[in-house]
Homo-oligomer: A and B are copies of this chain.
Amino acid sequence: MKEKEFINIIKNTLHSKYIGDDCAYLKDLGIVVTQDSLVEGIHFRRDFATPYQLGYKSVMVNISDICASGAEPLYLTVSLSLPPDIGAEFVKQFYEGAKKACKNAEIVGGDITGAEKIYISITAIGSVRNRRISSRANAKTGYKIILSGNHGSSAAGLSQLINGEKQSKFINAHLMPDARIDFSKKLAENIIEDYAMMDTSDGLMDALAAISKESNVLMSIDFDKIPFDKDLKSFDNYQDLILYGGEDYELVAAVPEKYVQGFVIGEVKSGTGVEINYTDKQVLYSSEEIENKLFNHFKENL
């Protein structure tokens, strides 16, 4: 839980109105900006991913944050710190993967330094032109909760990698995720009302809990409406994978009914926390319970 404690210290030290969403929205410049770092041994392992996959995913993670804000991903800077045993071929493949993930965006700078482990830090900039920007604090009672795609695949793939498996559709979902650029574009270009959107990088429940907390609403979800790959049922803990598994990089949003797209999985109600409705029961989680579960089960498992 140290990470959350540190973020509170940072908020209290900086008194910034910007810190809270996936991206900072800089109105005067008409842009959003986000930065994420990936550390070898914490966020990835060299024996799980090729340099190409690592470059691809590192960029995609940041593009996903831009998409979560509703902005158009345009530019990235990439900073790489590399141990002495890393050679030219790694750098070439990493940047080929990074370039592929950029799609219409472009890498425009960054730096390269030495280090003992691989550190990757990427900043992405998006344009807000003709788009309406989301905020976690914008969910309102009566809004529909929508989702862009399947959940649980990436976490299933990670568990297969940890078990020594090398190839599967789930492993592919884990190593080569795709940010939901089109889902974001369609919503942000058309909507003329406030809305909440996040990516599910830390799991669906994490995103739902964050929107609940920042908007001070109850997120009521029908479990059976959450889309997932049916082969996930071969995992004993598939329900946990769907709800708590991270790194699917789908988008979850709370929007007025007329802007519904993708999968409708529930509704915003008055109250607090996240309510999961199963066919035979209903379970209510507070944001704090979800944070604890996330940290215990998924966040520190590499």
A contact residues vs B (CB 8 Å cutoff): 3, 5-7, 9-10, 13-14, 16, 18-19, 23-24, 26, 28-31, 33-37, 39, 41-43, 74-75, 77-79, 81-82, 88, 91-92, 95-96, 99, 106-117, 119, 121, 123, 125, 127
- The 12 sampled A-B contact pairs (Cβ below 8 Å) are A7-B112, A10-B91, A24-B75, A29-B74, A33-B123, A35-B121, A37-B119, A39-B114, A39-B119, A42-B114, A79-B121, A119-B119
B109 touches A18 (CB 8 A): yes
Q: Which residues of B contact A13 (CB under 8 A)?
A: 92, 95-96, 99
A35 touches B111 (CB 8 A): yes
A29 touches B115 (CB 8 A): no
Distance (whole angstroms) from the CB of A15 to the closest CB of chain B: 9
Integer count of this chain's copies in the complex: 2
A-B CB proximity, top 6 nearest: A121-B121, A24-B108, A18-B108, A123-B123, A35-B77, A13-B95
Tell me the interface secondary structure of chain A in the complex.
strand
